[in-house]
Amino acid sequence: METVLIFAGLLLLGAVVGFLAGLLGIGGGLLTVPFITMLLAQHAASSEQVVHMAVATSAATIVFTSLSSIRAHYAHSAILWPICRSVVPGLLLGGFLGAQLASLLPKAPLALFFALFTAFSATQMLLGKTPKATRELPKSLGLASVGTVIGIISSLIGAGGGFLSVPYLIWNNVPIRNAVATSAAMSFPIAAASTIGFIIAGWNAPDRPEYSFGYIYMPALVAIAATSILFAPFGARAAHRWPVATIRRFFAFLLYALSVYMVRKAFFT
């Protein structure tokens, strides 16, 4: 019975993550990592491997979630492909490097940085702050550099980067629907590079649970990916139907929640 409940919980988590991926252009890593951590801590991995495997498995689920979200946003012609082409080299490099650095960097400073950034972004969105009309995205080299930073931070915490890329694009006068769609497309290279990096980093790691592939825990990956793929298109449809103000508020309150979570991770765990 316990195994059935765990599997059902993973399926439900995948559905929520998929919907949010389509609606807000985020990979959902900050939702999946805590849940997978609890699962592994109780049933599978040693304490030495729990966090690494949770982050790695979360990154792997985003590969599938982002593909479904991209397909749905592509149908609405909302993805800004020139931005994607410029930023992808940096995202790939950052995603791979972040996976390699995950076990080396202290978590508290990174968590605090993330918390402050997301709280600031949420406040800007709720207050309706708009960027200067003259503000625009940098050229290709600048976008690649931004992509590297987004890729590293996202990979370190097993996320798809939407919590960084959506506010960044909006702050550079990209309309929110295009920002969400383009962020969804940016999540795929981050997740793919991170997944490869975590497989390599965990290939010879000791005390990994059965059915693991590097640091990827396959049972959780399969369950979450299955429903996230199905629900991402529903979120994408909502993104193109809901009023812009509603999407902004939804995203802002999610950022506040994530900010509180990361403060807790930084100082109380």
Residue 208 is given by DSSP the state: P
Which residues, other chains included, contact 82 with Cβ-Cβ below 8 Å and sequence gap of 6+? none
Which residues are bridge partners to 212 per DSSP?
A: 217
pLDDT band at 45 (very low <50, low <70, confident <90, very high): low
Question: How many CA atoms does the CB half-sphere of 241 hold within 13 Å?
Answer: 7
Q: Rounded mean pLDDT of 20-40?
A: 71
Our CA angle for 43, 220, 206, nearest 5°, is 60
pLDDT digits (tens, 9 = 90+) for 118-159: 677 677 667 765 556 567 788 888 899 998 998 888 887 767
* pLDDT above 90 coverage of the chain, percent: 6
- The yes-or-no verdict on residue 66 having pLDDT over 90 is no
In this prediction, residue 21 carries a pLDDT of: 74
pLDDT band at 83 (very low <50, low <70, confident <90, very high): very high
In this prediction, residue 108 carries a pLDDT of: 66
In this prediction, residue 140 carries a pLDDT of: 85
Q: pTM, whole model, 2 decimals?
A: 0.76
Q: How far is the C-alpha of 109 from the C-alpha of 208, rounded, in Å?
A: 28
pLDDT digits (tens, 9 = 90+) for 189-199: 988 888 988 89
- The yes-or-no verdict on residue 47 having pLDDT over 60 is no
Listed in order, strand segments (DSSP E) in the chain are 212-213, 216-217
Place of tokens 């807000």: 24
21: alpha, beta or left, given left = phi > 0 and alpha = psi -120 to 50? alpha
In this prediction, residue 148 carries a pLDDT of: 92
Question: How many CA atoms does the CB half-sphere of 3 hold within 13 Å?
Answer: 2
Q: How far is the C-alpha of 40 from the C-alpha of 53, rounded, in Å?
A: 8
Instruction: Give the mean pLDDT of the chain.
Output: 79
Q: Rounded mean pLDDT of 96-120?
A: 70
In this prediction, residue 80 carries a pLDDT of: 92
In this prediction, residue 1 carries a pLDDT of: 54
In this prediction, residue 212 carries a pLDDT of: 85
pLDDT band at 86 (very low <50, low <70, confident <90, very high): very high
In this prediction, residue 241 carries a pLDDT of: 80
Q: Rounded mean pLDDT of 60-86?
A: 88
Q: How far is the C-alpha of 91 from the C-alpha of 121, rounded, in Å?
A: 21
- The yes-or-no verdict on residue 31 having pLDDT over 60 is yes
Which residues are bridge partners to 213 per DSSP?
A: 216
- The yes-or-no verdict on residue 184 having pLDDT over 60 is yes
Q: Where are the alpha helices (DSSP H) in the chain?
A: 2-24, 29-43, 50-74, 81-101, 107-126, 140-156, 162-171, 176-201, 218-239, 244-267
In this prediction, residue 251 carries a pLDDT of: 72
Q: Which two tokens stand for residue 55?
A: 């982050």
pLDDT digits (tens, 9 = 90+) for 203-261: 887 777 778 888 898 888 998 888 888 888 888 788 778 776 777 777 778 778 777 77
